[in-house]
Chain A
Amino acid sequence: MTTSNKKNLEMRFSGAGGQGLQLCAKIFSKALIGEGYHVSMSQSYEPTSRGGLSRADIVASGDTPDYPLTTELDVLLILDQAAVNASEGIIRDDATVIIDPRRTKNPPQGNFKVIALPLSETAIKLGSERITNVVATGVIAALSHDIPLDIVEGALKSISPKKFLALNMDALHAGVELARGLKTA
């Protein structure tokens, strides 16, 4: 079924309800399954569909994990201040933490690397703040060594409704550009 030499990867997409964090998780879940990982995807949300803390987690591993929920995050996305405290104490020292400074004034403190990028601003420039999640997806895809970009593109294509596909693709590539800017800087 899967090759067990794959290393475990724990990702969290967090923010406020309605920011499309489940979609981020779904895209990476699909991409990782395509890469032969065993993927466990969990979520936590408030009873209302909009606002409040929302998060979607992925635990990717070579085989069925003993524990399918996150315990040590490798990748953390924070799109809203409401989500900062939720990950306290479970971020690895070598983790990549990506935040949107426009909505996250006090990022988490620790030994890990915090990368602040104008995610929502980029989305607004493209036409809608609602695609901030896809911009973030592009950033994470570009920064990750485990998931080839074309696999993420494929996953987004398979999930995106047709009428939003072009916009979503633009957002994904804008995110990739943001990440590349980082690398050259």
Chain B
Amino acid sequence: MTVQQNVAQATPTINLPTINLQGNHACALGAVAAGCRFYAGYPITPSSEVAERLAKELPKVGGVFLQMEDEIASIAATLGASMGGVKAMTATSGPGFSLKQENLGYGMKAEIPCVVVNVMRGGPSTGMPTRPAQGDLMQARWGTHGDHPVVALTPGSVEEIYQQTARAFALSEKLRIPVIVLFDESLGHLEETITLPDVTEYENTIRKWATGKPEDYKPYKADADGVPPMARPGDGYRVHTTGLIVAEGGFPTQKADVVAPVMKRLLDKIEINNDLVESFEDIDCQDAEVVVVALGIVGRSAKKAVRELRQQGIKAGLFRPITLWPFPTKSFRALTKKAKYFVVAEMNAGQLILEIGAAKVDKQSVSGLNRYDGEPISPSLIKQAVKEVLGHE
């Protein structure tokens, strides 16, 4: 089994505490460990425990916790705090994630780091507030208007929620982009015995600040990594931040020849940093005849299923994206060359399968195992689906 994790492989140091922790609390603690000092949110099931824990933790470290008047204000205040130079986060669930989309797009366009957590519940609309689902995978990618890259992480355990929330801050700071963390209700409310991973490296990752003479500084002139250094208010740069498309100098433009390269850089920013962003877990994919693709809690279920199938002599493998967006297509293709079948197991009506359909090659066949009734997909259902595609009943 290999877990590819290119930003700061968490290396356990001495005496890391082993504790029992709920997923939502792990999210809150991972954020604080990564240096989050601002949180604004609005109560919503099943993510409220993230806020409740941060209301307790942030004052202890001199941070700010705000319960705002609504979901929109929560992400707006989060972006506002980040514009001021502080690592900031908001968390929500389905309906709140929908409400946050416009300002999420503002953050993407104005390149303001922050972390947006969506603890997914059954949808659409008010849906099933206390039931798990994975119905917001495509919303995380395409929820806001216009073209822009997205980074979304999908941890699969309580320990990974802690670690990936912390990593989300590091990626967000480094790439100047809001990073989305998606996990479902069952993980959010799951309590597991975990060893807290060391996230010092994530904590130490902060955005590039503008240096040099203010008159030479261009707010949207990027370095070789596609990321422009950010100006902090009070440091003498006095720049303009806007949702309008701007030239390198930071002021609005609608001239096609100026807009084209500006947009191109924004669109390419994540791709050129793919080594940093990409992460996934692969279990026995290389020689697998059937590869199960699943993430979050379903990834756990698939792990058990794949192990048991192997014991029965069936060549099954698991590909579990930890970075969902951008989807690690190249690595996926390279690892699953021998696969004849893909079973995409997901707690929605078929979203991840669209990506696998686009990533598969030649005659590889793709089938979906879907549940959208508010219940998780059990290992036995996955085993059964794998056997079905192989023709053994």
Contact = CB atoms under 8 A, between A and B. Distances in A.
Contacts of A67: 300-301, 303-304, 378-379
Interface in B179-204: 186, 189-193, 195
Interface stretch (A34-42, A93-101, A147-155): A34-42
A68 interface: yes
A69 B193 contact: no
Contacts of A40: 190-193
Contacts of A66: 300, 303-304, 307, 379
Contacts of A68: 157, 190, 192, 300
A167 interface: no
B45 A64 contact: no
Size class of the contact patch on chain B: 20 to 34
Nearest to A69: B376
Given A40-B191, A42-B191, A69 B18 contact: no
Contacts of A33: 20, 193
Contacts of A42: 186, 189-191
Interface in A126-171: none
Nearest to A60: B193
Contacts of A185: none
Interface in A51-96: 64-69, 71
Contacts of B301: 67, 69
B211 interface: no
Interface in B360-387: 376, 378-380
28 contacts: A1-B18, A1-B195, A2-B193, A29-B191, A38-B192, A39-B192, A39-B193, A40-B191, A40-B192, A40-B193, A41-B20, A42-B186, A42-B191, A44-B130, A44-B131, A45-B130, A46-B130, A47-B130, A64-B157, A65-B304, A66-B307, A66-B379, A67-B378, A68-B190, A69-B297, A69-B301, A69-B376, A71-B379
Interface string A12-42: 0000000000000000010001000111111
Given A33-B20, A46-B130, A66-B304, A41 B297 contact: no
Given A1-B18, A66-B300, A66-B307, A71 B380 contact: yes
Nearest to A54: B130
Given A38-B193, A46-B130, A71-B378, A29 B300 contact: no
Interface string A87-119: 000000000000000000000000000000000
Contacts of B307: 66
Given A40-B192, A44-B131, 10 more contacts: A2-B193, A38-B193, A40-B191, A41-B191, A41-B192, A43-B189, A47-B129, A66-B303, A67-B303, A69-B297
Interface string B292-307: 0000010011011001
Nearest to B126: A47
B189 A29 contact: no
B346 to A, nearest CB: 16
A44 B190 CA distance: 10
Interface in B294-348: 297, 300-301, 303-304, 307
A158 to B, nearest CB: 13
B129 A39 contact: no
Contacts of B192: 38-41, 64, 68
